[in-house]
Amino acid sequence: MLFSNQKKYSFPLFSPCKSYDIILMDMEMPQMSGVEATCWIRQHFPDSQKLYIIAMTANAMEEDRQICLNSGMNNYISKPVKIDQLKSVLQLE
């Protein structure tokens, strides 16, 4: 993925002109949160692209899940990520 955890580099690398299948969004990045990044993506990408964003976080409380979903993310998995959990979220099983 082209998304950097450095705020000044993140968005120039991530362009609405490109096609992305999925975004695995870390919630605890040094320069900005995954919620901030998701809000930016939802504001700058056309609805027609319908980017699928999955939150990845060590915070496994229901409130954390709701924050992720309310920010525009499509799904949520807790870290450490298990392959079966990722497959389930991606509906590969």
- Amino acid identity of residue 55, one-letter, is A
> What distance in Å separates the CA atoms of residue 5 and residue 93, rounded to the nearest whole number?
31
Contacts 24+ apart (CB under 8 A), 80-86: 81/56
Rounded to an integer, what distance in angstroms lies between the CA atom of residue 5 and that of residue 3?
7
Tens of pLDDT, residue by residue, the chain (93 residues): 444 455 444 454 566 666 778 888 888 877 778 898 888 888 887 777 778 899 988 877 888 889 999 999 999 998 888 999 888 888 864
Where do the domains of the chain lie, and which CATH numbers do they carry? 26-85 (3.40.50.2300)
